[in-house]
Chain A
Amino acid sequence: MTRFDRLNSKILNAHKNGNINILVDIYFMLGNEELKKSAIKSGCFLLTQAFVYALESGDCRAKEIREILISYGREE
Protein backbone atom coordinates (compact mmCIF):
# COMPACT_ATOMS: atom_id res chain seq x y z
CA MET A 1 0.00 0.00 0.00
CA THR A 2 1.46 3.36 -1.00
CA ARG A 3 1.41 6.47 1.20
CA PHE A 4 -1.25 7.87 -1.10
CA ASP A 5 -3.42 4.78 -0.58
CA ARG A 6 -3.02 4.97 3.19
CA LEU A 7 -3.96 8.64 3.32
CA ASN A 8 -6.85 8.13 0.94
CA SER A 9 -8.13 5.34 3.15
CA LYS A 10 -7.75 7.55 6.25
CA ILE A 11 -9.69 10.36 4.56
CA LEU A 12 -12.55 8.05 3.60
CA ASN A 13 -12.69 6.61 7.11
CA ALA A 14 -12.66 10.07 8.65
CA HIS A 15 -15.59 11.08 6.44
CA LYS A 16 -17.42 7.89 7.35
CA ASN A 17 -16.89 8.42 11.07
CA GLY A 18 -17.36 12.18 11.05
CA ASN A 19 -13.82 12.65 12.36
CA ILE A 20 -13.23 16.13 11.05
CA ASN A 21 -10.02 16.74 12.99
CA ILE A 22 -8.30 14.00 11.01
CA LEU A 23 -9.40 15.65 7.78
CA VAL A 24 -7.85 18.91 8.93
CA ASP A 25 -4.65 17.05 9.91
CA ILE A 26 -4.25 15.31 6.57
CA TYR A 27 -5.20 18.17 4.26
CA PHE A 28 -3.11 20.65 6.25
CA MET A 29 -0.10 18.38 6.10
CA LEU A 30 -0.46 17.61 2.39
CA GLY A 31 -1.16 21.25 1.54
CA ASN A 32 2.00 22.40 3.27
CA GLU A 33 4.01 19.68 1.53
CA GLU A 34 2.77 20.88 -1.85
CA LEU A 35 3.59 24.49 -1.07
CA LYS A 36 7.10 23.48 -0.06
CA LYS A 37 7.43 21.98 -3.53
CA SER A 38 6.15 25.30 -4.95
CA ALA A 39 3.04 23.52 -6.20
CA ILE A 40 0.87 26.53 -5.35
CA LYS A 41 -2.32 25.45 -7.04
CA SER A 42 -2.55 22.00 -5.50
CA GLY A 43 -1.20 23.30 -2.17
CA CYS A 44 -3.92 25.92 -1.95
CA PHE A 45 -6.52 23.40 -3.02
CA LEU A 46 -5.54 21.09 -0.16
CA LEU A 47 -5.27 23.93 2.34
CA THR A 48 -8.75 25.07 1.33
CA GLN A 49 -10.04 21.62 2.19
CA ALA A 50 -8.26 21.88 5.55
CA PHE A 51 -9.62 25.40 6.08
CA VAL A 52 -13.23 24.42 5.49
CA TYR A 53 -13.08 21.50 7.89
CA ALA A 54 -11.23 23.60 10.46
CA LEU A 55 -13.93 26.26 10.18
CA GLU A 56 -16.68 23.68 10.49
CA SER A 57 -15.22 22.09 13.59
CA GLY A 58 -14.13 25.29 15.28
CA ASP A 59 -10.50 24.12 15.01
CA CYS A 60 -8.11 26.89 16.07
CA ARG A 61 -5.91 26.11 13.06
CA ALA A 62 -8.50 27.78 10.82
CA LYS A 63 -6.92 31.17 11.51
CA GLU A 64 -3.43 30.00 10.56
CA ILE A 65 -4.63 28.27 7.40
CA ARG A 66 -6.64 31.31 6.38
CA GLU A 67 -3.58 33.52 6.73
CA ILE A 68 -1.57 31.20 4.49
CA LEU A 69 -4.34 31.24 1.87
CA ILE A 70 -4.57 35.02 2.08
CA SER A 71 -0.81 35.29 1.54
CA TYR A 72 -1.30 33.45 -1.75
CA GLY A 73 -4.28 35.62 -2.72
CA ARG A 74 -6.68 32.71 -2.29
CA GLU A 75 -8.83 33.85 0.61
CA GLU A 76 -10.20 37.09 2.01
Chain B
Amino acid sequence: MSNLSSVIEPLNTAKGLPNEHYIDDKIFQEEKESVLFSNWSAIGFAKDTPKVGDVNPITFLGMPLLVVRDNDKKVRVYQNTCRHRGMVLISERRNIRGTIRCPYHSWCYGLDGQLRSTPHVGGPGQNTHPDIKRNELGLVEIRSHVFMDVVFVNISNNAASFEEVHSDIINQWQEFDKPLYHNEDSSFELTVKSNWKLAVENYCESYHLPWVHPGLNLVSRLEDHYHIENTLKYSGQGSYVYSQLKGKDNEVFPDFDGLKKKWNTASEYISLYPNVLLGVHRDHTYAIILEPISTNKTREHVAIYYASAEATKARFKDLRIKNKFFWEDVFKEDIFVVEGMQEGRNGKFFDGGKFSPVMDGPTHLFHEWVATQINLGRKEL
Protein backbone atom coordinates (compact mmCIF):
# COMPACT_ATOMS: atom_id res chain seq x y z
CA MET B 1 0.00 0.00 0.00
CA SER B 2 1.49 3.35 -0.99
CA ASN B 3 2.11 6.12 1.55
CA LEU B 4 0.18 9.23 0.58
CA SER B 5 0.73 11.42 3.62
CA SER B 6 3.27 13.65 1.87
CA VAL B 7 0.94 14.14 -1.11
CA ILE B 8 -1.75 15.87 0.93
CA GLU B 9 0.62 18.29 2.60
CA PRO B 10 0.50 21.97 1.55
CA LEU B 11 1.96 22.77 -1.84
CA ASN B 12 5.26 24.13 -0.50
CA THR B 13 6.16 20.91 1.26
CA ALA B 14 4.13 18.31 -0.61
CA LYS B 15 5.49 15.55 -2.80
CA GLY B 16 3.76 14.19 -5.87
CA LEU B 17 2.10 10.79 -6.00
CA PRO B 18 4.59 7.95 -5.54
CA ASN B 19 5.89 6.00 -8.52
CA GLU B 20 3.68 2.99 -7.95
CA HIS B 21 0.64 5.11 -8.82
CA TYR B 22 1.93 5.15 -12.37
CA ILE B 23 3.52 1.75 -12.83
CA ASP B 24 1.92 -0.76 -10.46
CA ASP B 25 -1.00 -2.88 -11.70
CA LYS B 26 -2.42 -3.34 -8.21
CA ILE B 27 -2.54 0.41 -7.62
CA PHE B 28 -4.10 0.83 -11.07
CA GLN B 29 -6.91 -1.50 -9.93
CA GLU B 30 -7.23 0.37 -6.63
CA GLU B 31 -7.52 3.70 -8.47
CA LYS B 32 -10.06 2.16 -10.83
CA GLU B 33 -12.38 1.60 -7.87
CA SER B 34 -11.52 4.49 -5.54
CA VAL B 35 -10.80 7.23 -8.05
CA LEU B 36 -12.65 6.42 -11.27
CA PHE B 37 -15.66 4.26 -10.37
CA SER B 38 -16.41 6.14 -7.13
CA ASN B 39 -16.54 9.55 -8.80
CA TRP B 40 -18.06 11.08 -11.91
CA SER B 41 -15.87 9.75 -14.71
CA ALA B 42 -16.23 10.64 -18.35
CA ILE B 43 -16.90 7.73 -20.70
CA GLY B 44 -18.02 9.26 -24.00
CA PHE B 45 -19.82 12.00 -25.87
CA ALA B 46 -23.56 12.50 -26.15
CA LYS B 47 -23.02 13.48 -29.80
CA ASP B 48 -22.37 9.80 -30.51
CA THR B 49 -26.00 8.94 -29.74
CA PRO B 50 -27.84 11.87 -31.35
CA LYS B 51 -31.13 10.16 -32.27
CA VAL B 52 -33.75 8.24 -30.31
CA GLY B 53 -32.76 4.58 -30.35
CA ASP B 54 -29.06 5.23 -30.88
CA VAL B 55 -26.93 2.88 -28.80
CA ASN B 56 -23.21 3.10 -28.23
CA PRO B 57 -21.36 0.34 -26.38
CA ILE B 58 -18.36 1.58 -24.41
CA THR B 59 -15.99 -0.54 -22.38
CA PHE B 60 -14.61 1.59 -19.58
CA LEU B 61 -11.83 -0.02 -17.55
CA GLY B 62 -13.20 -3.41 -18.51
CA MET B 63 -16.78 -2.50 -17.53
CA PRO B 64 -19.22 -3.04 -20.42
CA LEU B 65 -21.49 0.00 -20.64
CA LEU B 66 -24.20 0.99 -23.08
CA VAL B 67 -25.04 4.61 -23.81
CA VAL B 68 -28.62 4.89 -25.06
CA ARG B 69 -30.73 7.79 -26.32
CA ASP B 70 -34.16 6.89 -24.96
CA ASN B 71 -37.62 7.75 -26.24
CA ASP B 72 -37.58 11.02 -24.29
CA LYS B 73 -34.29 11.94 -26.06
CA LYS B 74 -32.48 11.57 -22.77
CA VAL B 75 -29.06 9.95 -22.59
CA ARG B 76 -29.04 6.93 -20.28
CA VAL B 77 -26.28 4.49 -19.46
CA TYR B 78 -26.79 0.81 -18.67
CA GLN B 79 -24.54 -2.05 -17.86
CA ASN B 80 -24.30 -3.71 -21.27
CA THR B 81 -25.00 -7.14 -19.84
CA CYS B 82 -28.11 -9.30 -20.15
CA ARG B 83 -29.75 -10.17 -16.83
CA HIS B 84 -30.14 -13.78 -17.96
CA ARG B 85 -26.75 -15.30 -18.77
CA GLY B 86 -24.55 -12.25 -18.66
CA MET B 87 -24.14 -11.93 -22.42
CA VAL B 88 -23.02 -8.57 -23.74
CA LEU B 89 -26.09 -7.09 -25.36
CA ILE B 90 -24.81 -4.64 -27.96
CA SER B 91 -21.42 -4.93 -29.62
CA GLU B 92 -21.47 -2.06 -32.07
CA ARG B 93 -22.77 1.47 -32.32
CA ARG B 94 -26.09 1.57 -34.18
CA ASN B 95 -29.72 2.63 -34.11
CA ILE B 96 -32.40 0.42 -32.62
CA ARG B 97 -35.96 0.96 -33.79
CA GLY B 98 -37.58 -1.25 -31.19
CA THR B 99 -36.07 -3.08 -28.24
CA ILE B 100 -32.57 -4.16 -27.27
CA ARG B 101 -32.51 -7.90 -27.99
CA CYS B 102 -29.93 -10.13 -26.39
CA PRO B 103 -28.35 -12.13 -29.22
CA TYR B 104 -28.14 -15.26 -27.05
CA HIS B 105 -31.69 -16.18 -25.88
CA SER B 106 -33.44 -13.02 -27.13
CA TRP B 107 -34.49 -11.47 -23.84
CA CYS B 108 -35.63 -8.02 -24.93
CA TYR B 109 -35.26 -4.70 -23.11
CA GLY B 110 -36.88 -1.36 -23.83
CA LEU B 111 -34.80 1.79 -24.21
CA ASP B 112 -36.01 2.56 -20.67
CA GLY B 113 -34.19 -0.58 -19.50
CA GLN B 114 -37.35 -2.54 -18.70
CA LEU B 115 -37.40 -6.23 -19.53
CA ARG B 116 -40.08 -6.56 -22.19
CA SER B 117 -39.86 -10.18 -23.28
CA THR B 118 -38.45 -13.48 -22.05
CA PRO B 119 -39.16 -15.83 -24.95
CA HIS B 120 -39.62 -19.51 -24.17
CA VAL B 121 -38.52 -18.91 -20.59
CA GLY B 122 -41.22 -21.27 -19.29
CA GLY B 123 -40.76 -23.79 -22.10
CA PRO B 124 -41.36 -23.61 -25.87
CA GLY B 125 -43.90 -20.91 -26.65
CA GLN B 126 -44.38 -20.14 -22.95
CA ASN B 127 -42.86 -16.74 -22.27
CA THR B 128 -43.67 -16.35 -18.61
CA HIS B 129 -42.84 -18.19 -15.43
CA PRO B 130 -43.80 -17.37 -11.84
CA ASP B 131 -40.15 -17.10 -10.87
CA ILE B 132 -39.24 -14.73 -13.69
CA LYS B 133 -40.27 -11.33 -12.40
CA ARG B 134 -39.65 -8.94 -15.24
CA ASN B 135 -40.00 -5.87 -13.07
CA GLU B 136 -36.96 -7.07 -11.09
CA LEU B 137 -34.88 -7.94 -14.12
CA GLY B 138 -34.50 -4.71 -16.04
CA LEU B 139 -31.13 -3.51 -17.24
CA VAL B 140 -28.87 -2.19 -14.50
CA GLU B 141 -28.83 1.55 -14.97
CA ILE B 142 -25.65 3.42 -14.19
CA ARG B 143 -25.99 6.94 -12.80
CA SER B 144 -25.13 9.33 -15.57
CA HIS B 145 -25.05 13.02 -16.35
CA VAL B 146 -24.27 15.01 -19.47
CA PHE B 147 -22.23 18.19 -19.10
CA MET B 148 -20.80 20.04 -22.09
CA ASP B 149 -21.83 17.02 -24.18
CA VAL B 150 -19.60 14.73 -22.12
CA VAL B 151 -21.31 11.67 -20.66
CA PHE B 152 -20.27 11.15 -17.06
CA VAL B 153 -21.01 8.08 -14.95
CA ASN B 154 -20.72 7.24 -11.28
CA ILE B 155 -20.36 3.49 -11.55
CA SER B 156 -20.16 2.76 -7.81
CA ASN B 157 -23.30 4.84 -7.22
CA ASN B 158 -21.80 6.44 -4.12
CA ALA B 159 -21.02 10.01 -5.17
CA ALA B 160 -23.18 13.06 -4.53
CA SER B 161 -25.11 14.21 -7.59
CA PHE B 162 -23.09 15.64 -10.49
CA GLU B 163 -24.78 19.01 -10.00
CA GLU B 164 -23.68 19.05 -6.38
CA VAL B 165 -20.13 17.83 -6.93
CA HIS B 166 -19.53 20.14 -9.87
CA SER B 167 -21.74 23.10 -8.95
CA ASP B 168 -18.74 25.46 -9.03
CA ILE B 169 -17.67 24.73 -12.58
CA ILE B 170 -21.31 24.68 -13.71
CA ASN B 171 -21.60 28.22 -12.29
CA GLN B 172 -18.19 29.37 -13.50
CA TRP B 173 -18.95 28.30 -17.05
CA GLN B 174 -22.70 28.83 -17.10
CA GLU B 175 -22.27 31.11 -20.10
CA PHE B 176 -21.22 28.04 -22.06
CA ASP B 177 -24.08 25.88 -20.80
CA LYS B 178 -25.79 26.07 -24.16
CA PRO B 179 -26.40 23.74 -27.07
CA LEU B 180 -23.08 22.73 -28.57
CA TYR B 181 -22.66 21.85 -32.23
CA HIS B 182 -20.30 19.27 -33.60
CA ASN B 183 -19.21 17.99 -36.97
CA GLU B 184 -17.52 14.58 -37.11
CA ASP B 185 -14.55 16.17 -38.89
CA SER B 186 -13.80 17.78 -35.53
CA SER B 187 -13.13 14.61 -33.55
CA PHE B 188 -9.90 12.67 -33.23
CA GLU B 189 -8.09 10.27 -30.96
CA LEU B 190 -4.56 10.03 -29.67
CA THR B 191 -3.00 7.08 -27.88
CA VAL B 192 -0.19 7.79 -25.46
CA LYS B 193 2.18 5.46 -23.65
CA SER B 194 1.49 7.04 -20.33
CA ASN B 195 -0.62 6.72 -17.24
CA TRP B 196 -3.85 8.72 -17.58
CA LYS B 197 -3.03 10.93 -14.60
CA LEU B 198 0.04 12.39 -16.27
CA ALA B 199 -2.18 13.76 -19.03
CA VAL B 200 -4.33 15.47 -16.38
CA GLU B 201 -1.32 16.85 -14.55
CA ASN B 202 0.27 18.24 -17.68
CA TYR B 203 -2.96 19.79 -18.89
CA CYS B 204 -3.77 21.76 -15.79
CA GLU B 205 -0.56 23.78 -15.51
CA SER B 206 0.83 26.54 -17.69
CA TYR B 207 4.40 26.20 -16.41
CA HIS B 208 5.39 23.96 -19.34
CA LEU B 209 3.98 26.16 -22.08
CA PRO B 210 7.13 28.17 -23.00
CA TRP B 211 9.17 24.98 -23.42
CA VAL B 212 6.77 22.46 -24.81
CA HIS B 213 4.61 24.81 -26.89
CA PRO B 214 7.11 27.44 -28.08
CA GLY B 215 4.67 28.57 -30.75
CA LEU B 216 2.62 30.17 -27.97
CA ASN B 217 5.44 32.33 -26.64
CA LEU B 218 4.71 35.33 -28.80
CA VAL B 219 0.91 35.08 -28.88
CA SER B 220 0.12 33.76 -25.41
CA ARG B 221 3.02 34.16 -23.04
CA LEU B 222 3.39 32.51 -19.68
CA GLU B 223 2.63 35.79 -17.92
CA ASP B 224 -0.70 35.95 -19.77
CA HIS B 225 -1.91 32.86 -17.92
CA TYR B 226 -3.51 32.44 -14.52
CA HIS B 227 -4.17 29.44 -12.33
CA ILE B 228 -7.65 28.02 -11.85
CA GLU B 229 -7.74 26.27 -8.51
CA ASN B 230 -10.72 24.73 -6.79
CA THR B 231 -9.58 22.38 -4.07
CA LEU B 232 -10.82 18.79 -4.41
CA LYS B 233 -12.84 19.63 -7.53
CA TYR B 234 -10.90 20.85 -10.55
CA SER B 235 -7.89 22.86 -11.55
CA GLY B 236 -6.40 24.35 -14.63
CA GLN B 237 -5.28 27.53 -16.28
CA GLY B 238 -6.71 30.49 -18.05
CA SER B 239 -5.33 32.90 -20.61
CA TYR B 240 -6.07 36.60 -21.09
CA VAL B 241 -5.01 36.68 -24.71
CA TYR B 242 -7.08 34.27 -26.75
CA SER B 243 -7.40 35.42 -30.33
CA GLN B 244 -9.78 33.83 -32.77
CA LEU B 245 -8.56 31.65 -35.58
CA LYS B 246 -9.16 33.26 -38.95
CA GLY B 247 -9.83 31.74 -42.35
CA LYS B 248 -8.36 32.82 -45.66
CA ASP B 249 -10.95 35.56 -46.02
CA ASN B 250 -10.53 36.56 -42.38
CA GLU B 251 -13.73 34.75 -41.46
CA VAL B 252 -14.12 33.60 -37.86
CA PHE B 253 -16.42 31.14 -36.16
CA PRO B 254 -19.65 32.62 -34.73
CA ASP B 255 -19.49 33.43 -31.01
CA PHE B 256 -21.60 32.04 -28.20
CA ASP B 257 -24.45 34.42 -27.45
CA GLY B 258 -24.41 36.57 -24.37
CA LEU B 259 -20.82 36.13 -23.25
CA LYS B 260 -19.30 38.66 -20.86
CA LYS B 261 -16.71 41.04 -22.27
CA LYS B 262 -13.94 39.07 -20.55
CA TRP B 263 -14.35 36.31 -23.09
CA ASN B 264 -13.45 38.57 -26.00
CA THR B 265 -9.84 37.68 -25.26
CA ALA B 266 -10.00 35.05 -22.54
CA SER B 267 -9.91 31.28 -22.66
CA GLU B 268 -9.92 28.68 -19.89
CA TYR B 269 -8.72 25.12 -19.64
CA ILE B 270 -9.56 22.88 -16.74
CA SER B 271 -9.04 19.30 -15.69
CA LEU B 272 -12.39 18.20 -14.31
CA TYR B 273 -11.41 15.37 -12.00
CA PRO B 274 -10.90 12.62 -12.62
CA ASN B 275 -10.52 12.20 -16.36
CA VAL B 276 -11.83 14.95 -18.56
CA LEU B 277 -9.99 17.97 -19.88
CA LEU B 278 -12.10 20.89 -21.05
CA GLY B 279 -11.40 24.11 -22.90
CA VAL B 280 -13.68 27.09 -23.53
CA HIS B 281 -13.32 30.03 -25.91
CA ARG B 282 -15.70 32.65 -27.26
CA ASP B 283 -16.33 30.60 -30.39
CA HIS B 284 -15.65 26.95 -29.53
CA THR B 285 -15.17 24.48 -26.73
CA TYR B 286 -13.53 21.11 -26.63
CA ALA B 287 -13.43 18.07 -24.40
CA ILE B 288 -10.75 15.45 -24.07
CA ILE B 289 -11.83 12.23 -22.42
CA LEU B 290 -8.95 10.24 -21.00
CA GLU B 291 -9.63 6.53 -21.25
CA PRO B 292 -7.24 4.67 -18.97
CA ILE B 293 -6.19 1.45 -20.71
CA SER B 294 -3.43 0.26 -18.40
CA THR B 295 -0.78 1.68 -16.08
CA ASN B 296 1.13 3.02 -19.06
CA LYS B 297 -1.41 3.43 -21.84
CA THR B 298 -4.15 6.01 -22.28
CA ARG B 299 -6.47 6.80 -25.15
CA GLU B 300 -7.45 10.44 -25.56
CA HIS B 301 -10.82 11.05 -27.24
CA VAL B 302 -11.06 14.62 -28.45
CA ALA B 303 -14.18 16.44 -29.67
CA ILE B 304 -14.37 20.11 -30.66
CA TYR B 305 -17.70 21.92 -30.44
CA TYR B 306 -18.96 25.16 -31.90
CA ALA B 307 -21.37 27.83 -30.75
CA SER B 308 -23.83 27.53 -33.63
CA ALA B 309 -25.03 25.02 -36.18
CA GLU B 310 -23.73 27.38 -38.84
CA ALA B 311 -20.15 26.65 -37.83
CA THR B 312 -20.67 22.95 -38.55
CA LYS B 313 -21.78 23.55 -42.13
CA ALA B 314 -19.70 23.21 -45.30
CA ARG B 315 -18.96 26.96 -45.39
CA PHE B 316 -16.75 26.61 -42.32
CA LYS B 317 -15.16 23.30 -43.22
CA ASP B 318 -11.70 24.68 -44.02
CA LEU B 319 -11.64 26.70 -40.82
CA ARG B 320 -12.83 23.71 -38.79
CA ILE B 321 -10.08 21.55 -40.22
CA LYS B 322 -7.56 24.30 -39.50
CA ASN B 323 -8.80 24.50 -35.91
CA LYS B 324 -8.70 20.73 -35.52
CA PHE B 325 -5.12 20.57 -36.78
CA PHE B 326 -4.16 23.45 -34.50
CA TRP B 327 -5.38 21.60 -31.41
CA GLU B 328 -4.13 18.24 -32.61
CA ASP B 329 -0.66 19.72 -33.03
CA VAL B 330 -0.78 21.31 -29.56
CA PHE B 331 -1.90 18.04 -27.95
CA LYS B 332 0.71 16.07 -29.88
CA GLU B 333 3.40 18.41 -28.57
CA ASP B 334 2.49 17.17 -25.10
CA ILE B 335 2.94 13.48 -25.91
CA PHE B 336 6.71 13.31 -25.40
CA VAL B 337 6.27 14.97 -22.01
CA VAL B 338 3.66 12.61 -20.62
CA GLU B 339 5.47 9.61 -22.08
CA GLY B 340 8.77 10.90 -20.69
CA MET B 341 7.28 11.36 -17.22
CA GLN B 342 5.90 7.83 -17.43
CA GLU B 343 9.33 6.45 -18.28
CA GLY B 344 10.90 8.57 -15.53
CA ARG B 345 8.66 6.98 -12.94
CA ASN B 346 10.54 3.74 -13.33
CA GLY B 347 13.44 5.55 -11.66
CA LYS B 348 13.34 3.92 -8.25
CA PHE B 349 14.81 6.96 -6.51
CA PHE B 350 12.19 9.39 -7.84
CA ASP B 351 10.26 10.51 -4.77
CA GLY B 352 7.10 11.90 -6.36
CA GLY B 353 8.78 15.18 -7.23
CA LYS B 354 9.15 18.66 -5.74
CA PHE B 355 6.47 21.15 -6.82
CA SER B 356 7.10 24.76 -7.69
CA PRO B 357 5.29 26.65 -4.90
CA VAL B 358 4.25 29.25 -7.47
CA MET B 359 3.63 27.38 -10.70
CA ASP B 360 2.50 23.87 -9.74
CA GLY B 361 -0.56 24.62 -7.60
CA PRO B 362 -3.09 23.20 -10.09
CA THR B 363 -1.10 19.98 -10.46
CA HIS B 364 -0.75 19.60 -6.72
CA LEU B 365 -4.50 19.99 -6.33
CA PHE B 366 -5.05 17.03 -8.61
CA HIS B 367 -2.55 14.92 -6.66
CA GLU B 368 -4.22 15.92 -3.43
CA TRP B 369 -7.62 14.96 -4.83
CA VAL B 370 -6.41 11.57 -6.07
CA ALA B 371 -4.74 10.84 -2.71
CA THR B 372 -7.93 11.85 -0.89
CA GLN B 373 -10.05 9.50 -3.00
CA ILE B 374 -7.65 6.64 -2.43
CA ASN B 375 -7.60 7.27 1.31
CA LEU B 376 -11.41 7.29 1.34
CA GLY B 377 -11.39 3.94 -0.47
CA ARG B 378 -8.92 2.50 2.01
CA LYS B 379 -11.05 3.63 4.92
CA GLU B 380 -13.95 1.62 3.53
CA LEU B 381 -11.89 -1.59 3.44
Which A residues have a C-beta under 8 Å from some C-beta of B?
Answer: 40-49, 51-52, 54-59, 62, 69, 73-76
CA of A74 to CA of B119, assembled, Å: 9
CA of A14 to CA of B125, assembled, Å: 22
Q: Which of B108, B116, B126 contacts A74 (CB 8 A)?
A: B126
B158 at the binding interface (Cβ < 8 Å): no
Instruction: Give the interface SS of chain A, mostly helix, strand, loop or mixed.
Output: helix
B99 at the binding interface (Cβ < 8 Å): yes
Question: In the complex, are the beta carbons of A58 and B98 less than 8 A apart?
Answer: yes
B156 at the binding interface (Cβ < 8 Å): no
Assess A76 versus B125: contact at CB under 8 Å? Given A55-B117, A56-B98, A56-B101. no
Question: In the complex, are the beta carbons of A42 and B108 less than 8 A apart?
Answer: no
B12 at the binding interface (Cβ < 8 Å): no
Q: Which of B98, B99, B119 contacts A48 (CB 8 A)?
A: B119
Question: In the complex, are the beta carbons of B117 and A52 less than 8 A apart?
Answer: yes
* Chain A nearest CB, measured from B92 CB (Å): 12
CA of A44 to CA of B108, assembled, Å: 17
- A48-B119, A57-B97, A76-B128 given. 16 additional CB < 8 A pairs? A44-B124, A44-B125, A44-B126, A45-B124, A47-B125, A48-B127, A49-B119, A51-B117, A52-B101, A55-B98, A55-B101, A73-B128, A74-B125, A74-B127, A75-B127, A75-B128
Instruction: Give the interface SS of chain B, mostly helix, strand, loop or mixed.
Output: loop
Question: In the complex, are the beta carbons of B120 and A45 less than 8 A apart?
Answer: yes
Tell me the count of chain B residues lying within 8 A, CB to CB, of chain A: 18
Annotate B100-139 by CB proximity to A: 1 below 8 A, 0 otherwise.
0100001010000000110110001111100000100000
Question: In the complex, are the beta carbons of B120 and A62 less than 8 A apart?
Answer: no
Taking CB atoms, residues of chain A closer than 8 Å to B128 are: 73-76
* Chain B nearest CB, measured from A63 CB (Å): 12
Taking CB atoms, residues of chain A closer than 8 Å to B101 are: 52, 55-56
CA of A52 to CA of B101, assembled, Å: 8
Assess A58 versus B97: contact at CB under 8 Å? Given A45-B120, A52-B106. yes
Q: List 5 A-B contacts (CB under 8 A).
A: A41-B124, A48-B125, A52-B108, A58-B98, A59-B98
* Chain A nearest CB, measured from B52 CB (Å): 11
* Chain B nearest CB, measured from A71 CB (Å): 13
Assess A76 versus B108: contact at CB under 8 Å? Given A45-B124, A57-B98. no
CA of A5 to CA of B117, assembled, Å: 29
Give the 4 A-B CB pairs with smallest separation, nearest first. A44-B125, A58-B98, A58-B97, A45-B125
Question: In the complex, are the beta carbons of A41 and B99 less than 8 A apart?
Answer: no
CA of A11 to CA of B199, assembled, Å: 52
Assess A52 versus B119: contact at CB under 8 Å? Given A58-B97, A62-B98. yes
CA of A23 to CA of B268, assembled, Å: 55
Question: In the complex, are the beta carbons of B120 and A54 less than 8 A apart?
Answer: no
* Chain A nearest CB, measured from B128 CB (Å): 5
* Chain A nearest CB, measured from B129 CB (Å): 10
Taking CB atoms, residues of chain A closer than 8 Å to B53 are: 58
Chain B residue nearest to A59 in the complex (CB): B98
Assess A55 versus B125: contact at CB under 8 Å? Given A48-B119, A48-B120, A76-B134. no
Q: Which of B98, B99, B125, B134 contacts A42 (CB 8 A)?
A: B125
Question: In the complex, are the beta carbons of B99 and A55 less than 8 A apart?
Answer: yes
Annotate B213-250 by CB proximity to A: 1 below 8 A, 0 otherwise.
00000000000000000000000000000000000000
Taking CB atoms, residues of chain B closer than 8 Å to A69 are: 127
* Chain A nearest CB, measured from B104 CB (Å): 12
Chain B residue nearest to A43 in the complex (CB): B125
Taking CB atoms, residues of chain B closer than 8 Å to A46 are: 125
Q: From residue 81 to 100 of chain B, which have CB atoms closer than 8 A to chain A?
A: 96-99
Q: From residue 48 to 95 of chain B, which have CB atoms closer than 8 A to chain A?
A: 53
* Chain A nearest CB, measured from B77 CB (Å): 21
Q: Which of A40, A43, A47, A75 has the most CB of B within 10 A?
A: A75
